[in-house]
Structure 1
């Protein structure tokens, strides 16, 4: 990691805080307020919808001012939002603080990929996104273990302590990021000058007219919906539907994060020589198998169900190992550098759209029994398998082979 050490450490700290909160993102409000499950899901989806315009705005700001400044602002907003979690007790309060956090998260992710792209070179980005993804998942694992304790204790005080720790992690990460060199400062100035010369054609309208890139957005929306199952479907399914002990939720996150932390580098190295769109298809297929097995776990006795849930989560994680770094690399490398912020913001919209649909959809389906949510997610994952070849035909970079070598 060399001279990027402060950035890497900041991402690790951020990940630990996020790992503390991710397993309790829905359960927190169920344990500390009287807001019912379906209203919590609605609040999270409305919050995600409110963040959609922020993503597009951030893309422009990244192109004009550079990614570092936006990352700093994003961490400050998220810290404020999570501190607000400690004060709410009704639906309106839940809606307000989740919207603030969603906007901060949108700003973070819309500037994170451009920041990584600014410090790396084409050809090595699967390695970098894989490494940082692995690092974040190690952080998630550490945080997930702590969250598992809070879930097992089950008291409102335990849940509030986890949220306070999450807010503190964002403030610490912000302090670390202050010392990170702004690698993209000169590039941002050059892009601002080019925007001024090129006018509207170099802006958002260019992205909106780029139909081949839209295919990537659709495929990543499918991938994102599957990815959100880890946060919004699996914990509630295990604890509220199957009535499994709280440690199972922590174990799901720990398994996922340890697998990514230890296996992402191996997975990326094994991709060398394979076409990117085929790797994406394999990732979605692993998602589908994991979802089918998750549904089957609901038919088992409690002890076997706990084992089945963990096995399913492991297979599901293979999908994350395969598809995640490839899709992000395709998004970064497929379009011009001077519009990278706006293109990656449009790409990030796929996660935001999934975040609009996921919480309310998963909550609604989970309220209707153990099977509907997994049937729906399996169908979505299989759609991703079917669309992967279309992605390869739409974007040449998606049909290219992974090299893992800088160019």
Structure 2
């Protein structure tokens, strides 16, 4: 799961997903290797870091809408404007953060970001000036996108390429568990419904950024910022001039629209255009979260090289296209039929999510040079940030008002992306030469 519409509690883009990962030389040869991965101290430290932050994120994303509108007293349009501006700030944050990770070391930059995010998040507890609220929203969102890029560099530096994709699958599953736990705590806060409870929850989320510094210190890295001593290795614009990699980034950004479909388009379609009960929105998101936890590791098991990653990405995009066509048929149906159709669409979207993400991790890392993983992950995250900022507007203005035709066009976009990715990835692989990870 990714971002969600304000009506469902998640109002700020978040960096709760592991960044793309590198290739795996070969599939696991024996079932005993999987417990070994979970027991690896580096993976354990990363898991603690992510779950601490994810619990805080789940807590905040559950209570934030009510706090912004009822606690701070801002109207929904003013909150929406602030979050739109924040999304635009997020687009600008990932690439420079990635470059900083290449120059100064991912652990050092990530620690600084956690301190920055803790202060910015704590400010939401008393943002009674609208100007301050906008500044804080921009700071929190920019910090989130920068965090994702720098964590991408940290994964490259701390996880061996041979196990990276499987490790990130495990981390992503655990991350969803943390978000679910935080959301459960958030429901308690909402039930209490007192200003002090909301402010305490915000403070608790801010504290998770500080607590996460403890496992961060324990994460070993293979090298520091001095990995690349040559001027070529420090060339700042190289990632922005890598046309084939930018093409893969753009296709990945398009497929990341599946999260907007799941958490914006599908709920709005259910409520406004189908006969399914409105209470189904929550269970659909819970179903997605549970299936990601159950299936993500398995989906990444056979993503062993770039061709396999491209196939996995293509399958995920095609499943997403099929999910769009399925959701479109839920209109003008009786409640039972509409419910079954939307459950099927959610299942297809989730299968598309876990398979496309497994391919995306491998592509994002394997096609980037080792000396500039931070900058390249910054570029990759910038594409995702654009989707998060502009995707909700796109689906609410270009898809939903046009009903089945709009869904059909969206499905065609996903299908076209699926077919375009393998040849684009092959070109990027040829372009990378001998300098890849």
With over 3 angstroms needed to count, the CA separation of the structure-2 counterparts of 1:92 and 1:119, relative to structure 1, is: same
The alpha-carbon distance between structure 1 residues 11 and 240, as it changes in their structure 2 partners (threshold 3 A), is farther
Cα offset for 1:24? 6.4
List aligned pairs for 1:158-169, cutoff 5 A.
163-169=202-208
- 8 Å CA contact 2:102–2:373 kept in 1: the answer is yes
Residue 226 of structure 2 corresponds to residue 189 of structure 1? yes
SS at match of 2:329: helix
Report the secondary structure of 1:395's partner residue: helix
Q: What is the alpha-carbon distance in structure 2 between the residues aligned to residue 83 and residue 232 of structure 1?
A: 27
Instruction: Give distance in 1, aligned partners of 2:120 and 2:276.
Output: 30
Q: 1:264 to 1:318 in 2, by over 3 A?
A: same
Mapped contact 2:54–2:179 kept (Cα < 8 A): yes
Aligned to 2:138: 99
Which of 320, 324, 334 is the aligned partner of 1:287? 320
How far apart, CA to CA, are the structure 2 residues paired with 1:55 and 1:266? 29
Aligned counterpart in structure 2 of residue 326 of structure 1, from 344, 356, 359: 359
How much does 1:385 deviate? 1.5
CA apart distance, 1:244: 7.5
Partner residue of 2:75? Answer: 35
How far did 1:349 drift? 0.9
Compute the displacement of 1:123 (Å).
Answer: 3.2
Tell me how far apart the structure 2 counterparts of residues 328 and 277 of structure 1 sit (CA, whole Å). Answer: 11
Structure in which a larger fraction of residues adopt helix: 1
Could you list the per-position Cα deviations for residues 88-111 of structure 1 after superposition, in whole angstroms to 9, with x for gaps in the alignment? 468645432221111111121011
Aligned partner of 1:381 in structure 2 is 414
Q: What's the secondary structure of 1:396's corresponding residue?
A: helix
Structural mapping, 1:115-154, within 5 Å: 115-147=154-186
Asked if the contact 1:241/1:369 (under 8 Å) is kept, the reply is no
Tell me if structure 1 keeps the 8 A contact 2:321–2:410.
yes
> 1:283, CA displacement in angstroms?
0.5
Q: Residue 5 of structure 2 aligns with which residue? A: none
The match for 1:336 is 369
C-alpha separation between the residues in 2 aligned to 1:90 and 1:373?
39
Partner of 1:221 in structure 2? Answer: 253
Residue 62 (1) aligns with residue 62 (2): no
Cα distance in structure 2, aligned partners of 1:72 and 1:365: 40
Q: In the alignment, which residue of structure 2 is the partner of 1:172? A: 211
Asked whether 1:83 is paired with 2:122, we answer yes
Change (3 A) 1:334 1:100: same
3-state SS of the aligned residue for 2:384? helix
After superposition, residues 340-379 of structure 1 pair within 5 angstroms as 340-362=373-395, 364=397, 368=401, 374=407, 377-379=410-412
Q: CA deviation at 1:9?
A: 0.9
**Offset at 1:212?**
1.1
Q: CA RMSD in A?
A: 3.6
Between stretches 222-231 and 61-70, larger displacement belongs to 222-231
Structure 1, unaligned runs of 5 or more: 399-406
Q: Comparing 267-276 with 386-395, which one deviates more in the overlay?
A: 267-276
Matched, 1:198 2:235: no
Whether the 8 Å contact between 1:18 and 1:140 is mirrored in structure 2 is: yes
Which stretch of structure 1 is more off in the superposition, 288-297 or 300-309?
300-309
Q: Distance in 2 between matches of 1:62 and 1:35?
A: 38
Give how far 1:238 is off: 5.2
Alpha-carbon distance, 1:252 to partner: 2.9
8 Å contact from structure 1 (residues 48, 102) kept in 2: yes
- Answering whether residue 298 of structure 2 is matched by residue 266 of structure 1, we say yes
Give the CA deviation at 1:258.
Answer: 1.5
Query: Shift of the alpha carbon at 1:149?
Result: 6.5
**In 2, Cα distance between equivalents of 1:146 and 1:236:** 26
| Alpha carbons 1:334, 1:395 under 8 Å: kept | yes
- 1:253 is the counterpart of 2:285: yes
Name the CA distance, whole Å, in 2 between partners of 1:283 and 1:387.
13
Q: Write out per-residue CA displacement over residues 59-100 of structure 1, whole angstroms, 9 at most, x where no aligned residue.
A: 121011111122223333333333333334686454322211
* Other structure's SS at 1:122 match: coil
Counterpart in 1 of 2:51? Answer: 12
User: Shift of residue 388 of structure 1?
Assistant: 1.5
TM-score normalised per structure 1: 0.81
Deviations 1:112-168 (A, max 9, x none): 1111111222232221221211221222333344456677x5957577665454334
**Unaligned residue ranges in structure 2 (runs of 5+):** 1-37, 432-436
Find the residue that maps to 2:162 and give its secondary structure.
coil
Q: Residues 47-68 of structure 1: CA distance to partner in whole angstroms, max 9, x if unpaired?
A: 1222333222211210111111
Greater alpha carbon shift after TM alignment, 296-305 vs 79-88: 296-305
TM superposition shift of 1:318: 0.7
